[in-house]
Amino acid sequence: MADEDEFTEFVTAALPGLLRFGHVLTGNAATAEDLVQTALGRSLRAWRRIEDPRAFVRKVMVNSYASWHRRHGGREWAVAEPADHGDATEDPACRVDDRDAVWRALQELPPRQRAVIVLRYYEDLTEAEIAAVMGVSTGTVKSQAARALRRLGDVLAPAEELRRAE
């Protein structure tokens, strides 16, 4: 019974962050909910053996998402954006445009690259923590991050140039 109580406490505390992580990772709120549910189900079954529950759930989410992405040929449907906590003094229209451009660029990344970017910049994990979550070396994290940032730059630079021209 104590294990169930601990798991319930963990889920209560971690659920909002896990849903946000899933949403940014998948680009879809409903898919994020399914992903979190799958990860929590697997976590419950392994609960007694888990040392770091948050890292374990993130790892299951990243791996499950990558598998899902492969099975479905990369088809995704972004339906809503995660909550923004940006600077309220900025022009809201520019903030929405910028957020939309980044959101669309993230959707173009392969699943592993997107996972690295989401874990680093949305979840604020270190390279070592990302490596642990993804089950790869820190060198792999660094190379995936470099490729992802280069690709994001390639996608976002033309959009920024177009916005400046307007």
> Going by C-beta distance under 8 Å and a sequence separation of 6 or more, which residues neighbour residue 26?
32, 35, 65, 76
Question: Residue 11: how many CB atoms within 10 A of its CB?
Answer: 16
pLDDT at position 4: 85
Return the residue matching tokens 């939309």.
100
Rounded Cα–Cα distance for residues 117 and 124 (Å):
9
Question: Residue 138: how many CB atoms within 10 A of its CB?
Answer: 14
The CATH class that applies to domain 87-166 reads mainly alpha
Least confident of 4-8, 22-26, 123-127, 162-166: 162-166
Domain locations in the chain as residue ranges: 1-75, 87-166
Tens of pLDDT along 134-145?
Answer: 889 999 999 999
Asked if residue 8 has pLDDT above 80, the reply is yes
Mean pLDDT of 66-90: 54
pLDDT at position 117: 92
Return the residue matching tokens 């140039």.
161
Rounded Cα–Cα distance for residues 145 and 11 (Å):
29
- How would CATH label the architecture of 1-75? Orthogonal Bundle (1.10)
Mean pLDDT of 99-116: 85
Rounded Cα–Cα distance for residues 109 and 88 (Å):
29
pLDDT at position 27: 84
Q: Quick one: pLDDT band at residue 162, thresholds 50, 70, 90?
A: low
pLDDT at position 73: 60
Rounded Cα–Cα distance for residues 149 and 154 (Å):
9
pLDDT at position 70: 73
Rounded Cα–Cα distance for residues 148 and 130 (Å):
14
pLDDT at position 160: 58
- Burial (CB < 10 A; 0-12, 13-18, 19+), residue 1, is exposed
Asked if residue 28 has pLDDT above 70, the reply is yes
Mean pLDDT of 51-75: 81
Q: What percent of the chain has pLDDT over 90?
A: 41
**Pairwise pLDDT comparison (67 vs 42), residue with the higher score:** 42
